[in-house]
Amino acid sequence: MRGYCYLNGRILPLRDAHVSVLDRGFVLGDGIYEVVPIYAGKPFRAQQHFRRLQRSLVAVRIPLPFDEAGFMRILNDLVVVAGQPPAPRELFYLQITRGVAPRVHA
């Protein structure tokens, strides 16, 4: 959203965001993503997007790193950081991976 992201518990400019090349999402595509449209500063159907994210993470056995209230807090914090006036349309793109984990080859 206008050059900001939420990464590992922090909101920061995209230019300062770094993901390990060993992250399983980067190396293996092992993760889930969700996109929430933001219209005039208001998340569209955020509760439904959260529930779909939750179902997807359960299906692939990735722990959910926050509850619904935490999800809404992140969305709202990003809208605030993006600034005023709010853009007519923005996208909140969320990707959750297993993170860095040892690779075991038999």
Give phi and psi for 76, each to the nearest 5: -65, -40
Cis peptide before 85 (omega within 30 of 0): yes
Q: Which domains does the chain have, with CATH numbers?
A: 4-97 (3.30.470.10)
- Each residue's pLDDT tens digit, 11-34: 999 899 999 999 999 899 999 999
Token pair 């056995």: residue: 61
Coil vs helix vs strand at 85: coil
pLDDT at 103 over 80: no
The pTM assigned to this predicted structure is 0.83
